[in-house]
Structure 1
Amino acid sequence: MQTMRGPGKQFEKGQTGNPAGRPKGARNRATLALEQLLDGEGEQITRKAIELAKDGDGAALRLCMDRLLPARKDRTVSFELPPIETTADLPRATSALLQAVAAGDLTPAEASDIGKAVDAHVRAIEAADLHQRLLRIEANQQ
């Protein structure tokens, strides 16, 4: 049963507007048609693209390189981050991040990503500390 709400008549969270829609894993008809057209031709087409690339065709060269060496989204970063066990450890960690950026060991974007992870870790420490403090207060009131 569909439950609509509000002026936009949106469905309840987790409910699809088309329960009889395409099942998970079903393939697109256009994709299936293209695969049938290329069936058995893949190796020949790949060889032709390589030949064109070798002959200097820029588009073919780009296609081949994109397949051989796709652009990396991220890289593994080797970075010595001081341990963060309490919020008091945070200044040492952020200082290490800033020094690594200044030295060129990390890009500003990498430091930002690591900083986000550090921030999440610090929030987890704060939440655990708060929980322990509340437990102690409750225990003292009894």
Structure 2
Amino acid sequence: MGKEDNLKPFKKGQSGNPAGRAKGTKTRATILKEFFKIQASIEDPESKEKFKGTLEDKIVMAQLVRALTGDTIAFREVMDSVYGKIPTTANIDHTTDGEALPGATITFDVTSMTDEQLRAIASGKG
């Protein structure tokens, strides 16, 4: 029963950390952004020439090099950063004479479908 005493909700207007974060405390994201601004020497993987950039530029270059050497996870991360993530589901609204039927949306998990199934859905025959 001792643990149940801890399950009481906070009183209205009171949080679990009334003092909150101390003013001026930096978040992890803020600290990383500051480090990203540090100047760094970067090597072009093709020409081997060195150029100046930021630590963030150097990290991006390292990710590009990994993608170019066949690392599929690095490649996906680069592509997702540039073009956005590819959706894994597709919503299809059923219509009658061009009018959408309310509540007639079907969601498909496209990651588990065959090419033939995807083509059938895309052509309207699925």
TM-score clears 0.5:
no
Please, what TM-score do these two structures have when normalized by structure 2?
0.44
Higher-strand-fraction structure: 2
Please, what TM-score do these two structures have when normalized by structure 1?
0.40
Answer with 1 or 2: which has the greater Rg.
1
Higher-helix-fraction structure: 1
